[in-house]
Structure 1
């Protein structure tokens, strides 16, 4: 008889007091404990334990959000369906007969676990110290205490696996995952998304504790056991693997081979790694964009998208080596298999162009066609006659926020976020303009957010400078921070909301200050004089003018009153997201240097409210 069946035979008084669903939930958590303790020493034991831990985390987060962990289930949820799913899950985790017959697992039944049961960490995450977390410890303790009460009436039966067939275990994990997903499906869609992002943040924090590629392989294998296909968590794991190679340009072949193997496992197929590129096989090159640091090139007869990253070797040999390593790290980041939420192109390889003192990053062109037109930037669309719907603009905004959120979770910073660096690739010259399938480019200055990582000074470019935080343009600039990316994001969201380029707002603000200094009124100037003044203001792009623009965007007392206008155009919630990006609340976190606090604030203040915007 299964442990689950015996638990259900407990006195009715217990069921009536604590609730059937709550008791089943406690049985599930105890079942996860039994499962984790059932694995014996073996090469893949860590994979199995990690996979079980992932499923338990998902269930605990659901229980926390639904209220059931405190025996206070949200009355809006279907209690009978929840009870049914939890009962099936509990049986799946504790029925040794089911494990033998349905999943062909070699189960050996032993004595009941001692009372009190061993601490959770000592049993389920043995040899996996990077999985130890106190985030859900309260919820786990409550449910294990309840399971102990039921165990006094009818103890769970302890068991162990003498051997495990990987394919059968994978089927079991997927069935467990599906039952948990059935519980998630009873929640509102936006609540499901919130839980998934919270779980992703926790796993990102966990990844920073991993210090070797072997542990990352455990995570990748666990994801392969529990999930089908590509998921953002795999991307975060791969990007952490890239950061663990401190000197990829000069590291030994063993480490590089180990990283390639890890990427193959993540793809569950042969990973298309970086390939050697040869300048003599390059054909026509076309430069694009305001800075001239991107374009297209024909390589081996195929059109590729390219970006250039400048370098300066005037520094010391050590600084040169670190910069080379940073260049290769960036290429590996852009080459790693990524979930679509990252919205990046796939890097093929890099070419050193020493005469121009720059590296070329080559990417696959994301669409296929006979006559491929040049990509359109978001800035191009905003300054054209194209008028997308508010629905499409909100969807685009959500995609850009999710992409930057994911990039920050992987502990990388963009450093040059703007509407010039959001591209759309038409399939043909006659393709209608659309906001579908945006790609974020412009990674020339990007780097990991770790101490000592080489940070290239930003080149002055008026078209891009108007998107940069004014602190980045000061002579005594102390270094980039993720909050500066959020400021740039806020300006892009401002453009999307008003559907006009931020340059117009900058010039309007700077023009007022310039005319005040000259003691002249705008109506006194001819059209040509106004054009000349605007060109001069943009060409100089003074840091003080950028600071003044920032203040004007937040000030509800001036004539333009941007906060009120934003609310009129896109609603209060979207407006608050934009103002949060442009304000100083994220900059105030700089002294704390706590990435988890920053990411949680990003989630609660930016990602979550914008995801709730629906038309």
Structure 2
């Protein structure tokens, strides 16, 4: 047994040393600061793959994981598999050694003509009994080099991507999904140039989620700057005649079913180009800005339509595909969404609000597994929208829609769709922020600092607060502000009034604790994290962050750790 443990520890030592040597090899390529413009996507590709390797290492090569090698031969075999993958990565770097150009050829710094490319990589040779002969990171800091062979570099980074995929294939599906979320959070940025390089790198490596992230974020950033430019111009041109509205539809282009306009309804159904359409009519509480800035308002409408028209499937964002927008007036806009595939033409959706309100018998409460799937889908949607740099601002059950599963009358709880985007906006400082219509029933889903008569700027944590109330409702399967009695075993909540601190006074001090019995401790803790308002504090610590992106990354990381990943682990 002692010999087996000794052999195991020896394998672990070799794996760790090889791992650090591979990350050092990455540093050689990433230390290049003078890439020609056409090669910058390659540097981004190396950054992506190095981050993936480091994230995997933090998960799998921790002290806890190292100790597991003592527990049996199966773990020893796993560590040997790790060693094989790292050896393959190391060999890939060595085989691409000729991609290093003569030092300083373009950068104009002193070269190292006495050292060939092969000798440089040989200086990084791994010795099991001793550290590398040369400090690769130190060497990289003293010399600059440029790329000579783009195809060889592409081949190298694709190989590294393949081996990273192999490593990630050794962890659970939940851990893989979590790692992808952290990857997207890390590379989400508002810098348009960096987004362009990320999009090219993601396309090269076939990281479809990163490519969609970069594309949607670019639309948001470009649209924001265009809106800001229009807002500063004289407002002589009416909104209805503003040029460049590529997604603007005319009322006559749709075949309406029932009343087309907004009256006591917020949604209308129609047919457009042979497909079922839901038109989500929206207006804000105070339309002064819209009337005084028609160009900027129209541009914001166009920007939002472009974002919702994007392909967001691999980001796990539950939104309908937007085909355009319509004007009921200069300040009332309708967003036209395609109904989900395979739905019956003209079939109207069911809102979460309707489901939570009409509970009269036990069969009206979905199975535990369905509620978990609903919660996971909604959390993923809100998380990814925030990661795109967008604020929804009106998350509530009325804006969560369901359709039946194809060929059945059974609602598909695992595929909720979030709508009600009209007052949403980019998460940019100084961006004009509009409020939804005042309604005591709806106000319960809004952060206490963002109620009817408050002037506080909307923060990403406010969307998480609204989501937390919905997660509470999903767990208890009732409206948080329900005033009446109902049959069933679940406890009644106290009467809801206009008190902005109702959630803290009533829900957080009592019923939220019942979630442990109904949904488990993990689910309860995730809901509590949303409602405790602890995420708000991140936005009060502005001086701690180098940039707005860094603060958003910190926020998203906290949300992922305390809510996203926790809900993802819940199962019936």
TM-score (ref. length: structure 2): 0.76
Equivalent residue for 2:209? 231
CA–CA distance in 1 between the matches of 2:129 and 2:39?
25
| Structure 1 residue 412: Cα displacement | 1.3
Contact kept, 8 Å, 1:294 with 1:307, in 2: the verdict is yes
Identify the range of structure 1 (468-477 vs 435-444) with the bigger mean alpha-carbon deviation: 468-477
CA distance in 1, matches of 2:126, 2:536: 41
- SS of equivalent to 1:450: coil
* Structure 1 residue aligned with 2:57: 63
- Measure how far apart 1:181 and its partner are: 2.1
Are 1:279 and 2:251 counterparts?
A: yes
Map 1:436-585 onto structure 2 (within 5 A): 436-504=414-482, 542-544=497-499, 546-555=500-509, 561-585=510-534
Tell me, in whole angstroms, the C-alpha distance in 2 between the residues paired with 1:160 and 1:575.
53
Does residue 298 of structure 2 align to residue 349 of structure 1?
no
Which of the residues 271, 275, 279 maps onto 1:306? 279
The structure 1 residue matched to 2:340, chosen from 366, 375, 379, is 366
Cα distance between partner residues in 2 of 1:446 and 1:577: 24
Deviation of 1:590 after TM superposition, in Å, equals 4.2
Q: Which of 310, 318, 329 is the aligned partner of 2:303?
A: 329
Deviations 1:175-233 (A, max 9, x none): 322211222233344333333322222212xx13x1x4x432211010011125x3156
CA spacing shift, 1:63–1:73, aligned 2, 3 Å: farther
Output the aligned Cα RMSD: 4.2
Say whether the 8 Å CA contact 2:469–2:531 is kept in structure 1.
yes
| Partners of 1:394 and 1:613 within 8 A in 2 | yes
Alpha-carbon distance in structure 1 between the residues aligned to 2:436 and 2:468:
19
CA distance in 1, matches of 2:258, 2:130: 70
Hey, what's the Cα distance between the residues in 2 that align with 1:294 and 1:143?
A: 66
Instruction: Describe the SS at the equivalent of 1:44.
Output: helix
Q: CA deviation at 1:161?
A: 5.5
1:53 aligns with 2:47: yes
Q: CA deviation at 1:274?
A: 5.0
Secondary structure at 2:364 match in 1: coil
Deviations 1:61-91 (A, max 9, x none): 2122223699957647521110011111111
State the shift of 1:442 in Å. 1.2
Over 3 Å counting, the alpha-carbon distance change for 1:564 and 1:361 in structure 2 is closer
User: When the two structures are superposed, what TM-score results if normalisation uses the length of structure 1?
Assistant: 0.71
Partner of 1:517: none
1:297 aligns with 2:270: yes
1:175 corresponding residue in structure 2: 159
Distance (Å, rounded) in 2 between the aligned partners of 1:452 and 1:500: 37
Residues 432-474 of structure 1: CA deviation (Å, up to 9, x unaligned)? 2331322111112211121221211221234422322233224
1:290/1:463 contact within 8 Å kept: no
C-alpha displacement at 1:360, in angstroms?
1.7
Cα offset, 1:32, TM superposition: 2.4
Gaps of 5+ in 1: 1-14, 100-105, 112-117, 119-141, 253-272, 509-533, 556-560
Matches within 5 A, 1:238-257: 238-248=216-226
Contact 1:39–1:161, Cα closer than 8 Å, also in 2 = no
Q: What is aligned with 1:94?
A: 94
SS in 2 for 1:586: helix
Contact 1:413/1:449 (8 A) holds in 2: yes
Shift of the 28–235 alpha-carbon distance from structure 1 to 2, 3 Å rule, reads same
The SS at the match of 2:308 is helix
- State the match for 1:187 in structure 2: 171
Counterpart CA distance in 2 for 1:495 and 1:482 is 21
Measured after TM superposition, the shift of residue 286 of structure 1 is 4.6
| CA distances 1:272-323 after superposition (whole Å, capped 9, x unpaired) | x954422222221457999722232223443212112326664597644433
